[in-house]
Amino acid sequence: MSLISTPLIIPQIILASKSPRRQELLKLMGIDFKVVLKDVDESYPEGLKPHEVALYIAKKKAHAFDEVLTNEIVVTADTIVVVDDLILGKPENEAHAFEILSQLSGRKHEVITAVSLISHKGLHSFFDTTEVYFKLLSEEQIRYYISTSQPMDKAGAYGIQDWIGLIGIEKIVGSYTNVVGLPTEKLYEQLSKL
């Protein structure tokens, strides 16, 4: 009697994000992927809780992929920064970035990243939350960061891996990579299940 084994099909991972930080995290995880971008309106209905907003937008990004092949898994994500139940988006200009960073200075805030995985089997979504504690930042430190870094493309106007994260964050409670833009431990676990 011969044993017939089913060949292992390794799915093609598609990352629907232009974020260089998310791309770097997937590379560090040893995942081969390609980037496919779709234009998605990131507005959301009023009355949602912060984690529901992140999930809503991640799912909206996933639904932009109306056809997913049998051997494909599309990964979409959305990261938001929350202080006092107020969602702080990406800054519109340098003055707005200064205002956001001043709000975060000397305080705790939450970073929530929601991820959606869409395949021929359907849509699966999850999120992670990390508490981030900033020390009191001086006006000079905030202005230096804005002038030397790129806070405009980041929720909350900062990157934890940037200079301001290195000198200004006292502690975090939860996943570091979640703050960068992808909760890699949870993502790996969910991809393994698929």
Q: 């081969």: which residue's tokens?
A: 32
Identify the CA nearest to 178 among candidates 137, 132, 130. 130
In which region does residue 170 sit, left (phi positive, over 0), alpha (psi from -120 to 50) or beta (all else)?
alpha
Which residue stretches of the chain have pLDDT < 50? Answer: 1-8
78 is known as an active-site residue: yes
pLDDT of residue 167: 97
pLDDT of residue 177: 97
In which region does residue 10 sit, left (phi positive, over 0), alpha (psi from -120 to 50) or beta (all else)?
beta
Q: What is the pLDDT of residues 53-70, one digit of tens each?
A: 999 999 999 999 988 888
User: Which domains are delineated in the chain?
Assistant: 12-193 (3.90.950.10)
pLDDT of residue 9: 56
Catalytic residue among 39, 78, 85, 162: 78
pLDDT of residue 68: 84
Q: What is the pLDDT of residues 93-122, one digit of tens each?
A: 999 999 999 999 999 999 999 999 999 889
